[in-house]
Structures are given as structure tokens and as C-alpha cells.
Amino acid sequence: MVSFARIGLMALVLMISANANAQSSSDNSLFDVKRIALIDLSYVLRNAEATTKIRDLLDEKKAEFSQEFQNRETALLNKEREINAQRGLVSQDAFNEAVQLFQGEVAEVQKEIQFKRNSLDQAFQQAQDNLRSLALEIVTAIAQREQLDMVITRETALIFRQDLNISEEVLALLDERTKNARIEVGELPF
């Protein structure tokens, strides 16, 4: 027990002396940080007008796809009824072949639905990545303009002064830079 206390005391003495040595070094040290800002990037991206535009556009595309696939589902249901109506009128082999072809069509439509959903998700993610990159460019420009030594994310700061937070400024500049941006989701294959 005594040896652990001695080790702890020695470690504390070493830390204090190292801290004193670091403070006595020149003011031009690479590790002197005097100007700090904080950014809540999640907040900025969540509240950006461009994010709302992206979501609205993707919701519109989802509605279009939903309508398209609803029409195809109706056609498939009608086809299924026709096949079932022919059950007693055609040979078992012909019926089984029609069922297999129908199941193949259903599987193909399900693949298309999944592909289009994935494509929309990827389009949203790509747009968010582009927006994030633009936000980081804005943060960099503010850091250079204000001669900031460091910008940290809100997630890494436990306690901070609100006047260090540049999130609202970044959000305003991001909205300004994206207000005339055109957002398009290209035609998807199939």
C-alpha cells in the first residue's frame, strides 16, 4: 500500500515539474493555444436550409417511386388473378410455368424497389457529405479570418462559454452559400 502511495506521489511531482518546465519555455511554443472556437456541426447540418431542400426533394422522389410501384403492384395483382383463373383451364405444366414467370416478375419488382430505395439513401448521404464539406470550408475560412488557433466540435467539449460557439455564424453562411444551389436527383436505372 505504501509503495503505491509513493509511486502516486512521485508521478504527481513529475507532472508538476513537467508542467513548470513547459510554462517556462518560450511563448513561441507550438502548443500555445490562445484563440479557440467551438462548432456544433450536427446542429448546423440538421438546421441548414439545404438539408430541408434535400429531404423535400427526396421525399418527392420517394412519392413518385411509391406511385410507380403501386401501379405495378396493381398490374401484378391483376396478372395473379388471371393466372389463378386459368388454373383449371390449362395443363398443370402450363400453369406451373405461368406461376414461375409471375414469381420472377415479382422478384424483379422487389429488386427494383430495393435498388431505388438504396439509390435514394445514397443520394441523400452524398448530398449530406457535400454539405458537410462546405460547412467545414466555412469553418476553415472563419478560423483564418479570426486567427483561431483551434476549432473543436461540440461533442468534444464538456463545458464551454457560449460566446466561443460559431455554429450560428456557420449556419448563416452555409444557408447563404446554398440558397441558390440546385439539388437534383438523377434518373435512376430500371
Q: Is residue 1 included in any domain, yes or no? A: no
pLDDT score of 20: 47
pLDDT score of 187: 53
Q: Is residue 133 included in any domain, yes or no? A: yes
Q: Is residue 88 included in any domain, yes or no? A: yes
H/E stretch holding 52 reads helix 49-85
Contacts of residue 41, defined as CB under 8 A and 6 or more positions apart, other chains included, come to 132, 135, 136, 153, 154, 167
Structural domain of residue 124, as residue ranges? 30-178
Segments in the chain below pLDDT 50: 1-15, 17-18, 20, 22, 24-25, 188-190
Is the CB of residue 189 less than 8 Å from the CB of residue 165? no
**What size, in residues, is the chain?**
190
pLDDT score of 183: 61
Q: Is residue 188 included in any domain, yes or no? A: no
Q: Is residue 60 included in any domain, yes or no? A: yes
pLDDT score of 132: 93
CA 22 vs CA 5, 28, 59: distances in Å:
26, 12, 56
pLDDT score of 43: 95
Q: Is residue 140 included in any domain, yes or no? A: yes
Q: Within 10 Å of residue 97's Cβ, how many Cβ atoms?
A: 12
Q: What is the distance between the alpha carbons of residues 83 and 98, in angstroms, rounded to a whole number?
A: 7
Instruction: State the total domains in the chain.
Output: 1
CA 81 to chain centre: 43
